[in-house]
Amino acid sequence: MAVILAVAAGVVIGLAAPELGKELKPLGTAFVALIKMMISPIIFCTIVLGVGSVTQAAKVGRVGGLALGYFLVMSTVALAIGLVVGNLVDPGQGLQLTDELRKAAETEAAKGGENDTVTFLLGMIPTTLVSAFTEGQVLQTLLVALLAGFALQAMGARGAPVLAGVAHIQRLVFRILAMIMWAAPVGAFGAMAAVVGATGVDALKSLGVIMLAFYTTCLLFVLGVLGPMLRLVAGVSLVSLLRYLGREFLLILGTSSSESALPRLIAKMEHLGVSRPVVGITVPTGYSFNLDGTAIYLTMATLFIASATGAPLSLGEQISLLLFMIIASKGAAGVTGAGLATLAGGLQSHRPDLVDGVGLIVGIDRFMSEARALTNFAGNAVATVLVGTWTGEFDRERAAEVLAGRIPFDETTLLDEDAPGRDASGPSAGRPDPETSTPPAGRSGQDASAAPAGRSDDPETSPV
């Protein structure tokens, strides 16, 4: 509720005092920066615990293979829907470019013009083992975490103390995140005031058609594609799942970045009943490879620009250009403005004559980014449940209890194992197979964090 009120206040300030609204932009930038600061350690801890606790490497490969295959299919479906709607609506017809828009387009092209497949692949390898954390690159952190997880897996019992240490670090990281989340209303207020102050009402009116078409297409994809799949495969209602993730959607709406909700999605998917290994592999990977909203955005924005500039694309040109953009956008799904840079870079590489048209999108990209981020987030949440179901790592009975509100999520710690009312002897990620999951050292079937105050976990003094 605080975020909703803050967004409304930001809109009022942006309309009533545009210059003041622009000056409030650092508030939103600072909040998103705080969230992004936590992404790398959270992904590292989650993946290391997920992969390192699985005794069979084949299980990790099976989960990852299923997830990547699903991501490829869904991105293709989203691409096709965007192409169909974009060609039918043709929202850019009759628009004219101005010198101001051309200048804005050149700026965005300079930001995104160097994106290509080779750069993307080489960018997955960090300069050093530690630089993956300092540079904030999701895919680099993912690579380092997978290597660390497999190394601990190969160490067997000797790696148990390290896993226990990583588990404690994860608790610390999530507790810091819970503290940062108190600043969400302030960040949402600053971000919304800035964007409304910069664009005003006229900019929204002139480009209302493309925005309406884009929002409708995203809604069609979520309700018409993701919803039926979730019901048929996992027996879960999409509406119930989206209601369960309501706070995360409000956070994304306020920050215009799905990355701000990534840590909470990891915690909530484990609480829902998906096993830790599946969550640890599927969610971070999905943030880089499962870009349903971005696929729709790039499709419709490209067709809009081509139509507005009087240089429509043939079907072959549409497919080749958009496939390149999907590849170039990997790893930047949750970053505000990354879609615009990818759009400009793709056009610069394939159709330089269309780059001027990016200026048409600049004014409303922030508002389109909202739907893009929300669709990406919904797609990753559904993907996690589906992959968990296909691998037998999804507890449907627990999910029913959680979605019904009988097992509430602990908002103070963001850690399921510390949730009040949860059986202390239960694993933190649903009910993983005891043959493929190894509890961290220091536990004997009971979570140390759930022990009474003053109790020691030292084997010489503990009654356990």
Q: Please write the tens of the pLDDT for every residue from 156-189.
A: 788 888 888 888 888 888 788 778 878 878 887 8
196 alpha carbon, distance to own chain's centre: 24
Instruction: Give the model's confidence band at 153: pLDDT under 50 very low, under 70 low, under 90 confident, else very high.
Output: confident
Provide the residue type at 266 as one letter. I
Which DSSP category does 129 fall into?
T
Instruction: Give the model's confidence band at 231: pLDDT under 50 very low, under 70 low, under 90 confident, else very high.
Output: very high
Other CB atoms within a 10 A radius of the CB of residue 344 amount to 29
Task: Give the alpha-carbon dihedral of 315, 320, 326, 328, to 10 degrees.
Answer: -150
178 alpha carbon, distance to own chain's centre: 18
Answer whether 190's CB lies under 8 Å from 254's CB: no
Would you state the structure tokens that stand for residue 462, as one six-digit string? 């503990």
Each residue of 290-322: b (16+ CB within 10 Å) or e?
A: bbbbbbbbbbbbbbbbbbbbeeebeeeebeebb
Statement: residue 24 has pLDDT above 90:
no
Would you state the structure tokens that stand for residue 79, as one six-digit string? 């691409």
Per-residue pLDDT of 387-444, as tens digits, reads 999 988 899 999 999 999 898 887 766 665 544 333 333 333 334 443 344 444 433 3
Cα of first residue to Cα of last residue in the chain, in angstroms, is 44
Other CB atoms within a 10 A radius of the CB of residue 393 amount to 25
Which DSSP category does 312 fall into?
P
Per-residue pLDDT of 376-400, as tens digits, reads 899 999 999 999 999 888 999 999 9
Per-residue pLDDT of 42-98, as tens digits, reads 778 877 877 776 655 566 678 878 888 898 888 888 888 888 888 887 665 555 544
Average pLDDT for the chain: 74
Q: What CATH architecture applies to the domain 62-127+203-422?
A: Orthogonal Bundle (1.10)
Statement: residue 227 has pLDDT above 90:
yes
138 alpha carbon, distance to own chain's centre: 11
In angstroms, rounded to a whole number, what is the distance separating the alpha carbons of residues 110 and 107?
A: 5
Statement: residue 13 has pLDDT above 60:
yes
User: What pLDDT, on a 0 to 100 scale, did the predictor assign at position 20?
Assistant: 85
Beta-carbon-side half-sphere exposure of residue 350 (alpha carbons within 13 Å): 23
52 by Cβ neighbours in 10 Å (0-12 / 13-18 / 19+) ranks as: buried
User: 414 or 234, which is more confident?
Assistant: 234
User: What pLDDT, on a 0 to 100 scale, did the predictor assign at position 457?
Assistant: 42
User: What pLDDT, on a 0 to 100 scale, did the predictor assign at position 59?
Assistant: 65
